[in-house]
């Protein structure tokens, strides 16, 4: 199976100055509500503890996380590894390797 890159630009580089922990928590809470949508910002963690790429995703920047998220969503690949079948997991690995 092959995967497609969305026609829309799935991520753009931006910089947000976080002035304190309370601000970060509010941005993260907002982003938690945006997981699975085109509006996801790249801050929230959408993977589970059993994901093979959890460490790489945690260390990645918001740009890389958003790009991977958007390509997975566009291709109807579940964000949670445990919810993927074999073909979906194979495509997800290709996407992770492309963008990490």
Distance between CA 71 and CA 89 in Å, rounded? 13
Q: Mean of the pLDDT values across residues 79-89?
A: 93
The reported pLDDT for the residue numbered 85 is 94
Residue 71 scores a pLDDT above 70: yes
Residue 4 scores a pLDDT above 90: no
Closest Cα partner for 71 from 49, 96, 47?
Answer: 96
Residue 69 scores a pLDDT above 90: yes
Sequence-ordered list of residues with C-beta below 8 angstroms from that of 97, at least 6 positions apart, any chain: none
Torsion angles phi and psi, residue 94, rounded to 5: -60, -40
């Amino acid at each position: 199976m092959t995967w497609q890159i969305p026609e829309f630009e799935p991520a753009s580089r931006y910089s947000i100055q976080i002035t304190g922990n309370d601000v970060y928590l509010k941005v993260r809470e907002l982003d938690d509500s945006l997981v699975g949508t085109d509006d996801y910002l790249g801050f929230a963690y959408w993977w589970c503890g059993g994901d093979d790429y959890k460490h790489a995703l945690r260390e990645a920047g918001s740009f890389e996380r958003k790009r991977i998220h958007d390509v997975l969503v566009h291709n109807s690949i579940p964000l949670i590894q445990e919810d993927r079948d074999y073909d979906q997991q194979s495509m997800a690995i290709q996407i992770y390797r492309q963008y990490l």
